[in-house]
Structure 1
Amino acid sequence: MHSENVIVVGAGRPTSGPVSLTQGRYGARGNLELLACDSRDGLWVFWFNADEAEDPLQSPDVPAGCWSAGLAFASGRHFVDAQIVQSTLGPDHLEVVALTDAGTLESWYWSPGPGFQRRVRDVAASVRRFRLTHDGGVLHVSLELTGGSSASLVSGTDGYPDRMWRASSQPPVFDDGSAERALQGQGITDVASGTARAAQSTRNGGTTELAWRDRSGRVRHLAVPDSGI
């Protein structure tokens, strides 16, 4: 059991809904990026300083082994889900796809200097749920629409940082519950249904990064060596 190593992320921040996690390319060892919806307006991103004591000091604001206090962005709308991935484009831009309570699936990206920017073209409308994956700079989105049908979209690298979306022949794939099962395997059962997600990182020779919301609403993070899953 690894419950004693669980970290609370963004304590005091008003977040809600599922969370999303990826290993970024920043810092000496690849910091973690965690995305959550604000409970009323916009989005929050938190980052984990994955550097160790012997690494060059990269961020005096967040000590090694700690999560940041969080950065708010995308104000003006209420989001119900948002997912983040690390792109190879930019270089090293972060990609965000976020679903509003009106069913609009927005496309955002982060780059040094400007920070998070919303693209002019949204991904889709009338969306009930989605799943974002990536392969290098190519993004894939599985959609379930409000009418009950499902679809897959893909966005390639042409014209980047703008993105065009087209129908994909890949079958839609949604959350398979593997993150929640991994948490159960670590003896952790205080998990709000549908909020757990996992990401792989290269930290410590290979780590499964688990993020979820407990039943009281707090965002949690647990790093499990791949040998312990």
Structure 2
Amino acid sequence: MAAAPVSALRTADPPPNRGRFAFAQGRYGVRGNLELLLCDEDDGLWVLWFNSDPEDTEPEPGGPPPGEWSGALRFGTGRRYDGVHVVQSLHGPHHLEVLAHAASSPHRLRWSPEAAFTTEDAPPTGAVSSATIAETSDGTLWLAAVTEDGALKLLRADAAAYPRLSWSEATPPVSLAGHRWSDVVLLPVPGAVRPGVAVLASDRTVYAGPDGRCHVLPAARTVAVAAPGGEERLYLWTGGCALEVVRPGRPEEDRRLALPGSNEVTAVAATAIAYAGGRVDLVVRRDGRLWHLKDPGPAGEVSAAPLVSRLTRTASGPQAPVHRVS
């Protein structure tokens, strides 16, 4: 069945949100739907998903047609979060690992088909100003955090008793020591035994790849990372009307990605798209709204559209709200 016509859809903008959001391709649906997690302005988290099924796939009743975003579901209430990260994990199998940051503490949540979102033991980071999580191809979970004094802390988890995780400290890339950092993002690269680490400071961005090589880049206000087909890409917003797309160690392949909107970019996140070789999708918050961008790589044309939830109407009965609370 072709996608439902616009007139048959119920639409809504995403709920008001703040801080850093999380974006990843999951393993549900025909080709792997996209998962987007947002921090509510006041309380808890929201999760939306993008229907990546082929156009001729019939949508679930009341759900989004292929090529559209779902409504949002709120969970994890009781805290006002500053940022969130998500991993589509190999464990479970295929559970979602969520690391959300509130005040100076990271909090771990997990989604499973049996129990939906549950709260798990928090990782032993101590007080931190930011934290992020990633999973390498062998199923090892990694956590990186910036401590309140600007140092970088790296942990890895023993997942033998999953969902219980046993964390231990790992050695950060040595060249990242001795500097006051403000933010950190991990980049798992297919086949690598440890993730790449991108750290931000007021005067520079540094990326240490899984091979240990460090690349000093322009200072960025926010950064997103992806590795389509093992090709490391960093998307840096340094101010202005575009993202700087950086290929570490290959400056001849660097380029700029024009952005919709006009003012400050307050958050950006990226994920490689498994069913479209070389493509990276991004979500950008600019001018107070979210945009969904598709970057096919240097040879293609980038597309951008406002991120809007669109749900099919059911034939009878009361319509559920577009956004719901769990």
TM-score range, shorter chain: 0.7 to 0.9
In structure 1, C-alpha distance between the alignment counterparts of 2:121 and 2:133, rounded to whole Å: 19
Q: Within 5 A, what are the aligned runs for 1:94-173? A: 94-101=96-103, 103-136=104-137, 137-171=139-173, 173=197
1:58, distance to aligned residue in structure 2 (A): 5.5
Deviation readout 1:169-225 (Å, 9 max, x if unpaired) = 23373355332457452321646445112111123334201112113x212211121
* CA pair 209-10 structure 1, distance change in 2 beyond 3 A: farther
**Match of residue 81, structure 2, among 37, 61, 79:** 79
Counterpart for residue 15 of structure 2: 13
Tell me, yes or no, if the aligned pair for 2:266 and 2:286 is still in contact at 8 Å: no
- Kindly state the Cα deviation for residue 92 of structure 1 after the two structures are TM-superposed: 0.8
1:179 paired residue among 235, 238, 252: 235
State the match for 1:29 in structure 2: 31
Establish whether residue 212 from structure 1 lines up as the match of residue 284 from structure 2.
Answer: yes
C-alpha contact 2:106 2:122 (8 A) present in aligned 1: no
1:179 match: secondary structure: strand
1: CA distance between counterparts of 2:166 and 2:264? 34
Tell me which amino acid in the other structure corresponds to 1:145: T
Counterpart of 1:223 in structure 2 is 294
For 1:44-96, what per-residue CA distance to the aligned partner results, in whole angstroms no more than 9, with x for missing partners? 111000001234x3633111100111111100001001001111111111111
Worse-superposed segment, 128-137 or 9-18:
9-18
Q: CA deviation at 1:121?
A: 3.4
CA distance in 2, matches of 1:189, 1:146: 34
Q: Does the aligned pair in 2 maintain the 1:37–1:44 contact within 8 Å?
A: yes
Q: Which amino acid in 1 is paired with 2:257?
A: Q
TM-score (norm 2): 0.62
Deviation at 1:128, TM superposition (A): 0.3
Q: How many Å separate the matches in 1 of 2:130 and 2:12?
A: 24
Q: Which aligned runs of 4 or more in structure 1 are off by greater than 6 angstroms? A: none
Contact 2:283–2:293 under 8 Å retained in 1: yes
Structure 1-normalised TM-score? 0.86
Q: What letter is aligned with 1:96? A: V
Larger Rg: 2
CA–CA distance in 1 between the matches of 2:28 and 2:84? 21
The 1:46–1:10 alpha-carbon spacing in structure 2 relative to 1, beyond 3 Å, is farther
Gap runs ≥5 in structure 2: 1-10, 177-196, 200-204, 206-222, 224-233, 245-255, 303-326
1:114 CA displacement: 1.1
Identity %: 33
Deviation (angstroms), 1:40: 0.6
What SS does the corresponding residue of 1:196 show, helix, strand or coil? Answer: strand
Q: Which has the higher contact order (CA 8 A, sep 6+)?
A: 1
* Count of residue correspondences: 218
What corresponds to 2:191 in structure 1?
none
Q: Which runs of 5+ in 1 are unaligned?
A: 1-8
Superposition RMSD in Å: 2.3
CA contact (8 A) 1:19 1:212 kept: no
Q: CA–CA distance in 1 between the matches of 2:260 and 2:289?
A: 14
